[in-house]
Amino acid sequence: MKTPEELTELFRSTGRKVTAQRQCIFRVLHGDVTHPSAEAVHAVASREMETISLKTVYQTLHDLAELGEIVSLDVGTGMTRFDPNVDDPHHHLVCRECGRVRDLVAVFPELQIPKGAELGFQVGSAEIVFRGLCPECQPATRTGRVPARAGK
């Protein structure tokens, strides 16, 4: 994802108007690696602008996705997650306890579909979701700490 300044420029050059709300969202997303939901972005943005509405956040996220500056993900956690990392090809780690999502920057070039198995599909891309437990949700055996049990 570009810097807030570059995004400001990009929005203007594509006929979009640049508002304080949007710039606030740009800053919130910049450098975020948590793959926040719209609600999470809104929560952070609200700390800076109390009146910003959730609808505005959704709209700006969609604009950014349309411009290819973020990508919206559905990894089965119940809400759409937004990933500002569009430069490195990567897959995702998802915690099955707390829903945390992280990038797994690795390419699996050997992902070839066996002939005959593709059932006539014209396959364009492959996404891998690795499910497991994030460091915070692991039992003590691995980390030596007793984790705060994230209620399901």
Partner DNA sequence: GAAGTTATCTACAACGCTTGTTGAAAAACA
Partner DNA sequence: TGTTTTTCAACAAGCGTTGTAGATAACTTC
- In the complex, the smallest distance separating the C-beta of residue 120 from DNA, rounded to whole angstroms, is 25
State the DSSP code for 114.
P
Site for a second copy in 7-36 (CB under 8 A): none
Q: Which position among 47, 53, 106, 130 is part of the footprint of DNA (CB under 7 A)?
A: 53
- In the complex, the smallest distance separating the C-beta of residue 57 from DNA, rounded to whole angstroms, is 8
> Which residue matches tokens 């006539």?
120
Residues that contact DNA, how many (by CB under 7 A): 28
Whole-angstrom distance, CA of residue 132 vs CA of residue 110: 23
The two structure tokens encoding residue 17 = 């108007």
Q: Which position among 3, 19, 76, 145 is part of the footprint of DNA (CB under 7 A)?
A: 19
Q: Is residue 151 a contact residue for a second copy (CB under 8 A)?
A: no
Q: Which helix (H) or strand (E) holds 26?
A: helix 20-29
Q: What is the 3-state secondary structure (H, E, C) of 84-111?
A: CCCCCCCEEEEECCCCCEEEECCCCCCC
The contact pattern for a second copy, residues 116-135, with x = CB under 8 A and - = no contact, is -xxxxxxxxxxxxxxxxxxx
Burial of 124 (0-12, 13-18, 19+ CB in 10 A): exposed
Site for DNA in 54-93 (CB under 7 A): 54-56, 58-60, 62-63, 78-80
From the list a second copy, DNA, none, which binds 131 (C-beta under 5 to 8 Å, kind-based)? a second copy
CA dihedral 7, 13, 19, 21 (to 10 degrees): -30
Site for a second copy in 69-98 (CB under 8 A): 74-76, 93, 95-96
Contact footprint for a second copy (CB under 8 A) = 74-76, 93, 95-96, 102, 104-106, 108, 110-111, 113-114, 117-135, 138, 142
